Amino acid sequence: MLLAGWFLSGSYAGYNDFMARGYLEAWEYQNRLKNQSGQVFTPSTEQLASARRYATLATTLSPSNADFQLTLGNAYLWGSAQAGVQDWKAPALNALRQACALSPARPDLWVRLARAKSIAGEFDHEFDTALARGNQLGPWRPSSMYDIIETGLIVWPRLSSAARETVMSTIQRSQQWHPASSNGAGYALNIQQLVSRLHRNDEVCSLLPHAGEPCPFKAAPGSAPGQT
């Protein structure tokens, strides 16, 4: 009976996490569509509340599941899109901290915590540590590398010297894929395009060693200057 109860509890937790992730995936898709026209998608208050209810129930039933904690953190993090609303910060950060504690070897969790901290405007030791841990644990994982670089470049002027070093080392590594690898060339180009999209070409080229060779991140003539 105890085993059956444990199984049913786990299955119901998984169902609730699945329902919450359904909201998150739909929002991400709608946000990509909005981004194409320079807009940002904002979930309704009702949608946020529903996703959070599902995610909270999943973590209540299965608190030691890092993926469920990640879903809960992301469900609250979407609240940052609502102007003037600050109730998302503590629950989002706490859930992501718990996810990192449960699965400390996963770089994606540390990078997500760093991203949440940056959105919250908290550029402290915890932010630097989360960014560094993501870099150390996933040094050649393309998704982690991309997220580290994007997170850092968006808020570049506010980064500590340690965080800037983490971002720059990741950028430098992103250009060291084997040239014969089509995937590697594609990953390198993705980072070059990311730097250009965020208008951080000058900052990156000024710090990236390129031994007299043209900087691969040099902005095209007429492009926008760096943001502040």
CATH topology of domain 1-103: 1.25.40
Q: Is the pLDDT of residue 1 over 60?
A: no
Given this model, what pLDDT does residue 6 score? Answer: 42
Q: Is the pLDDT of residue 78 over 50?
A: yes
Cα(115)–Cα(80) distance, rounded to whole angstroms?
12
218: confidence class by pLDDT, cuts 50, 70, 90: confident
CA distances from 67 to 20, 51, 99, 175, 217 (A): 12, 15, 7, 31, 35
Per the structure block, which two tokens stand in for 29? 């898709």
Q: Residue 38: phi, psi to the nearest 5? A: 75, 20
Three-state DSSP at 139 gives: coil
Per the structure block, which two tokens stand in for 94? 């706490």
Beta-carbon contacts of 60 under 8 Å, excluding residues fewer than 6 positions away, are: none
Q: What is the pLDDT of residues 111-170, one digit of tens each?
A: 999 999 999 999 999 999 999 999 999 999 999 999 999 999 999 999 999 999 999 999
Please list the residue range(s) of the chain that carry CATH number 1.25.40.
1-103
pTM of the model: 0.88
Task: Give the gyration radius of the chain's Cα atoms.
Answer: 19
Given this model, what pLDDT does residue 8 score? Answer: 47
Cα(77)–Cα(86) distance, rounded to whole angstroms?
10
The CA-based angle 24-82-94, given to 5 degrees, is 65
Per the structure block, which two tokens stand in for 206? 């000024």
Q: Is the pLDDT of residue 48 over 70?
A: yes
The rounded mean pLDDT for the chain is: 89
- Residue 94: count other Cβ atoms within 10 Å of its Cβ: 14
